[in-house]
Chains A and B, each alone.
Chain A
């Protein structure tokens, strides 16, 4: 084959590839097709593998690691007793909170439905350039793109791409992740963004006079439309005035160990308007002005 022919073929292939790449950038057809096939196949293969790992791990913890179980049991009993005491102490506050919410007509944010999911793997394949994990829920089972994920300790990230039964999740440590937050105590708003898997997070656009302290909790503000309001996301590890802008330079760390995730919770949007409980029973004592229309003089 002559050099000229090779160059012509190579040029033709390059033009074809760039054409396909541009067409896919606008239509996303090939991305959707490959996501469906790739993630579904990976879920079908890795699901049983992960289940087998769990079975083996369970056998180990049940039969081999029995020595520590008794001590752990004692510790757990003590913890349960302590938690019961705390629950009893908090039940009065909780009841009061419910009453106040009804009185103030503050909608309880119950338009998010929690769903459990299992982590199948971390970054997989040579094209995994973003900081992601793969979970065993897809758009048919509650893991639509944009769905937020968390554990009992705090926020993890949100679903980036999904097939029917598997999905890729963009972790909050990825440099492309942006989360609208506010600080829990000082109520200063900002944008939390990642800097890579093993780097700390950064909070942008917090004014210098915000009074943010080290160790303060950062919770989602819900203003970005992706995350429900009030989810704990990260903890402040350093605060100092920025040398380059009129804002504070704040670094934070995730509350969750993102390198060792096993089970996660998805918050699926139900699409329903938040329901407000109607309190039909009259309050035992006077706590506010009466509702309109209930005044006997009218």
Chain B
């Protein structure tokens, strides 16, 4: 070999590099193994030191920014629905709330379409990064519990948003879906004068939000004994616009539409209104969600004459609210859970129902609509009273601290 001398020199050099690297990593790992054990204690002492001035931090974020309050790092994990407006809005509100809180130095967002094992991995990465709190939209109620227990052991605050987990140390924060269905259904039954038949268009069979909404619908129904429901168990739209359009077209074509007095939808609203309009039928009172297309229809009496409807909020601001909750917990504030929820440590966000019958209602709908630059697939109710402090523009900008 011609270059054996060079090769040998290289070999010696690389061996030295390997040995040095191995030793230094071994050497640095010793203190590192001690670091995680000290980190939780410092993290656990932090809330108590911060809790001496929780009022200043919570009441006025601006004053918290001027006074050098304790800065936290937050991790956010989203395990599905990439490209879905509802999920994107959640992540952007989380970033915006982290920015305006003045208490977050960095928010790290991991988002991909993955299974529960993949989200476990993302959460473990955030634990290894040493964030102070992890806010996440769980892929499953139980599958993430091993990583959540590890987070708790490392002194990290965990908050599940949009859905719940069964981990006892994690706080859950999501929209009250029972109330969501109850508010809309009650409005509808009142509009119908307490009598008549309702076409019941549900969401995705087996989904927990769908089951909760069914409960709320049945609660309202129990108060109006003369209301009949067709079909009694409802039809599943799968929250899919194409399926919904097919269902309502069949319903109209078969003549069943002519014998009903109201429609309850689980958020698949604007396509139902359009189909009725296209078929040249008279609009019956209808319940929908705070989605851009539906609200536009509600505010367009010339395009959709006689349309009476109510938009119930299903806010995607839960991402931002989750960050607020995590900060409250980090600052040592006590948070009161809702006893009606299926899990302890759960905060349910109360939805709001706004119809297009009163001037006040129309003004409210207009105010939702009047946010320039809002993506049409995003729910309009961006903010949540008492939980979020960002402006709609900040949510749309989708920038966290230091970005």
The answer to whether A and B interact is no
